[in-house]
Amino acid sequence: MITRIARKEFVEMTRDGRFRWSAAIVFCLLIASLAIGWKHYREVKSDRDAAQSQAYEQWLNQGRRNPHSAAHYGMYAFKPMLPLALVDRGVEAYTGAAVFLEAHKQNEFRLRPAKDTAGVARFGELTAAMLLQLIVPLLVILLAFGAFAGEREVGTLRQLLSLGVSRRALGAGKALGVAGALGLLIVPAAVIGAAALALSTSGGSGGALMAGFGRAALVALAYLVYFTVALLVALAVSARLRSSRVALLALLAFWIASGMVAPRAASDLAKRLHPTPSTISFAREMEKEILQGEQGRNEKLKQRVLAEHGVSRAEDLPFNFEGLSLQDSEERGDEVIDRYYNALDRAFAAQTRVQELAALVSPYQAVRLLSMGLAGTDPAQQRDFARAGEAYRRMMVKKMNEAVRSNEGELDPNYFGTQTLSRKTGREMWQTIPPFTYDTPGAAWVLKNHRRSALLLLAWVAVATLAAWRAVTRLSVE
């Protein structure tokens, strides 16, 4: 019985011109967005890979100079991209792509790609994720709003039930019919998406391929759950409300609230509850505090070291005091930097929690966070990358300071100023710094990070199932 109802629904829908048109348009948009995403991914990836290896080459070939100058010359780190970013670009457009790693300070990420696009981009990017998160549920609503309410209006519902069709069978059949029609659109798009992913991952190791597909499967699962929520909510509303008109209006209102109003309202609320400082005041205060810590400390350190070695002049020490002093001030500075950046990270994390809570009224928000997390394009992975960059910076600066301390290299005949810059080294020293590498966190890390969103999405399925069940079993013909 269920299959018969499902087949009837399916045939009816696929013969409907409106469904054909809208499905064709959404399908074309999906394919176009995948193509755009693929092109974007290829460009950005080759761009960043090239820039990263070039940055290391520049480091190695900086010529003979003082290690401290080398630390000032510094290095750039570029955030790598996962193939899934072609489906969901997440916040990529709004995070910097590059961070400059140099002596004395932690730099901010720079070069947000969104700054290099026209203002029209603020309406949202055309990505597969946007279509799956916003447009497909709308299609589900259009397919399902009349499922029960429409039959009730024309009187066929009374007929059907009088034939002895069970309400549950009717509900299950309707759900399967709509799902089948939707599958006509989603399955081919998913196959093309998977092919694009496989193409993008090729060249990587077998392990990377498997991990990539594991993530892709999780993303697919998340969207499947999300579409199920949309379908069940639509059926529940259609079964509950008297006319198809009212059912449609209620569903559209829900769609707007979930996809437009709640996320934005949550963002602004999050910023109000957990404010972040302006760049200017953040930098100024941090600089001031680092500078305050400097004062007099160098002299105290010198007295202590001289006393320990029983000498009276820095020149008589068995090592270059400037190297020790540099590293000491670096580490004191790092304490201040850590304090400031940890506070900032905490504010961002608190903002994220508020935004996650928006999923209480918006399943869209839950799937959005999960999807960008699995695609490796969420703010948390940006922060993780920033931390890796900072750890690398400290390692690099420390090695250079140690080189100053142990007087590596030859004396520079033209040096002036302090003992810091008295010697020159070259490639043999630069080589001791390995190239910057970054391993993107695994899917388990991502899921743990987004457990609230995952749970809320599951809660949505549970609630929607319950609501649909209740509405269908109590289906009234009037």
- Total residues contacting another protein (rule CB under 8 A)? 89
378 binds another protein (CB under 8 A): yes
CB-CB contact of 160 with 151 (8 Å): yes
Starting at the edge strand found earlier in the chain, the sheet holding 98-102 runs 75-78, 98-102, 105-106
279 binds another protein (CB under 8 A): yes
Closer of 139 and 179 to another protein (Cβ) = 139
The residues pairing with 110 across neighbouring beta strands, listed in sequence order, are 98
Can you spell out the DSSP letters for 19-77? Answer: HHHHHHHHHHHHHHHHHHHHHHHHHHHHHHHHHHHHHHHHHHTS-SB-HHHHHHH-EEE
Site map (CB under 8 A) of another protein, residues 18-57, x = contact: x---x------x------x------x---xx-xx--xx--
CB-CB contact of 418 with 351 (8 Å): no
Q: How far apart, in whole angstroms, are the C-alpha atoms of residue 204 and residue 22?
A: 38
**Cβ-proximal residues to 272 (8 Å cutoff; 6+ apart), any chain:** none
CB-CB contact of 356 with 449 (8 Å): no
Which stretch in 155-163, 221-229, 258-266, 441-449 sits in contact with another protein by CB under 8 A? 258-266
Please, what is the Cα angle at 124 between 266 and 361, to 5 degrees?
A: 30
246: its two tokens: 């009212």
Closer of 184 and 283 to another protein (Cβ) = 283
Closer of 49 and 335 to another protein (Cβ) = 49
Q: How far apart, in whole angstroms, are the C-alpha atoms of residue 385 and residue 77?
A: 9
Closer of 238 and 327 to another protein (Cβ) = 238
Which stretch in 175-183, 215-223, 378-386, 431-439 sits in contact with another protein by CB under 8 A? 378-386
Closer of 118 and 444 to another protein (Cβ) = 118
Q: Which residue in 4, 20, 272, 427 binds another protein (CB under 8 A)?
A: 272
Which stretch in 104-112, 157-165, 175-183, 433-441 sits in contact with another protein by CB under 8 A? 104-112
Closer of 145 and 223 to another protein (Cβ) = 145
Phi, psi of 422 (to 5 degrees): -75, -20
Minimum CB separation from another protein for residue 163, in Å?
26
191: its two tokens: 């196959």
Q: Which residue in 41, 78, 148, 392 binds another protein (CB under 8 A)?
A: 78
Which stretch in 128-136, 178-186, 328-336, 447-455 sits in contact with another protein by CB under 8 A? 128-136
Can you spell out the DSSP letters for 90-114? Answer: TTGGGS-SEEEEETTEEPPPB--GG
The phi-psi region of residue 319 (left if phi > 0; otherwise alpha if psi is between -120 and 50; otherwise beta) is beta
Q: Which residue in 1, 24, 60, 111 binds another protein (CB under 8 A)?
A: 111
Which stretch in 108-116, 299-307, 389-397, 426-434 sits in contact with another protein by CB under 8 A? 108-116
472 binds another protein (CB under 8 A): no
Q: Which residue in 142, 147, 181, 400 binds another protein (CB under 8 A)?
A: 142
Site map (CB under 8 A) of another protein, residues 282-321, x = contact: x-x-------------------------------------
Segments of 300-409 assigned E as strands: none
Q: Which residue in 28, 60, 199, 256 binds another protein (CB under 8 A)?
A: 256
Q: Identify the CA nearest to 389 among candidates 354, 421, 447, 436.
A: 436
Which stretch in 203-211, 264-272, 391-399, 460-468 sits in contact with another protein by CB under 8 A? 264-272
Closer of 352 and 449 to another protein (Cβ) = 352
CB-CB contact of 298 with 325 (8 Å): yes
For residue 318, the SS3 value is coil
149: its two tokens: 């309410």
Site for another protein in 380-439 (CB under 8 A): 382, 416-417
Site for another protein in 332-361 (CB under 8 A): 344, 348, 351-352, 355
Q: Which residue in 163, 280, 411, 444 binds another protein (CB under 8 A)?
A: 280
Site for another protein in 226-245 (CB under 8 A): 243-245
Q: How far apart, in whole angstroms, are the C-alpha atoms of residue 416 and residue 273?
A: 52
